[in-house]
Amino acid sequence: MQVFGLVGNPVGHSLSPPMHEAAYETRDIDARYVTFEPAADDLAAAVEGARALGVSGLNVTVPYKERVRDLVAVDDLAARIGAVNTVDFGGDEPTGHNTDAAGARRALEVQGDADLDGADAVVVGAGGAGRAVAHGLADGGAAVAIANRTEERAVDLAADVPSATGHGLDVLPGLLGDATVLVNATSVGMEADETPVPADALHGDLVVLDAVYAPLETRLLRDAATAGATTVDGAWMLLYQGAEAFELWTGRRAPVAAMDDALRTRLRDDR
Ligand code: ATR
């Protein structure tokens, strides 16, 4: 039996175990997906211990994505993002990857039918999620405008992302005028029914992805639907980052319908 897992703190409410175990069942893979909560001081020992025990792969979540980047050999994208969310133990040495970027891109392309190549895209947020999304969209060929409450963080991030620009939130209406893609990569909308984007700046030519998945229907997505935009909820981004990790670990196509079903069932049960 193969073992996969998630390393973070806390990980008790993670949606990844049911999502990945549904994939193993569908593809007839003898594997389990378990959660680990090492203390910060034990992180390096935990990753080395997982390798020594024959664990096949690990996902990494808050607050360890940046630190794991320094513990394993990383691919170019994870190096640019500065964070690892997937470790593959299948090769000669553990390798670190970031599937959050491709997760956002696939959610927009597959669920939102967005064409990123040459598109004007706006990413709201310049934290860890914002970094991954901005790099993901730029890799897909989009010109990315990053808007953040703390403008300096957006400007700093933009300097690392090809053909990106950094801004404060005040200029969002101007940035959105010609844009066809909008992603909320802030935590706004999670705690309260709030949105970082003024409703009257939204329009019908936008595909809008909200990385927030609890609640699934955020105020931003409601406003976007009212404006006639195409909406993509945060569970799709979560699903596709998981699908990318599954494909990296197993070399097989992810059964996205089964994974989506497991994910949404758990989200409904948690409500
Ligand atoms: P994560 O890794 O999940 O992105 P983070 O690094 O703490 O978490 O970043 C949170 C993001 O949400 C940041 O872009 C943050 O803006 P600041 O850089 O100005 O802090 C944004 N954010 C959080 N609360 C916000 C709020 N009430 N209004 C606007 N942006 C907010």
Pocket of ligand 1 (CB under 6 A): 125-130, 148-150, 153, 186-188, 196
Please state, rounded to an integer, the average pLDDT across all residues of the chain.
97
State whether 106 and 212 are in the same domain: yes
Ligand 1 pocket test: which of 84, 187, 190 has the largest number of ligand atoms within 8 Å of its C-beta?
187
State whether 92 and 111 are in the same domain: no
pTM: 0.96
Asked if 12 and 39 touch (Cβ cutoff 8 Å), the reply is no
Residue 185 Cα to ligand 1 midpoint, Å, equals 8
| pLDDT mean over 197-222 | 97
| pLDDT recorded at residue 270 | 84
- Count of domains observed in the chain: 2
Asked if 161 and 135 touch (Cβ cutoff 8 Å), the reply is yes
pLDDT range class, residue 94, cuts 50, 70, 90: very high
- In 38-125, where do the E strands start and end? 57-60, 73-74, 86-88, 95-97, 120-124
Which residue of the set 20, 65, 167, 219 is catalytic?
A: 65
| pLDDT above 90: residue 35 | yes
Residue 24 backbone phi and psi in degrees, to 5: -65, -40
Report the nearest-CA residue for atom 29 of ligand 1. Answer: 149
Question: pLDDT exceeding 70 applies to what percent of the chain?
Answer: 100
Atom of ligand 1 nearest to the CA of 62: 2
| pLDDT above 90: residue 229 | yes
State whether 23 and 84 are in the same domain: yes
Domain assignment of residue 36, given as a range: 2-98+236-270
| pLDDT above 80: residue 259 | yes
Report the nearest-CA residue for atom 11 of ligand 1. Answer: 186
Q: Tell me: the pLDDT tens digits for 133-150?
A: 999 999 999 999 999 999
pLDDT range class, residue 271, cuts 50, 70, 90: confident
Q: Tell me: the pLDDT tens digits for 99-130?
A: 999 999 999 999 999 999 999 999 999 999 99
Tell me if residue 145 is catalytic. no
- For residue 115, the domain's CATH number is 3.40.50.720
Asked if 116 and 232 touch (Cβ cutoff 8 Å), the reply is no
State whether 87 and 107 are in the same domain: no
Report the nearest-CA residue for atom 12 of ligand 1. Answer: 186
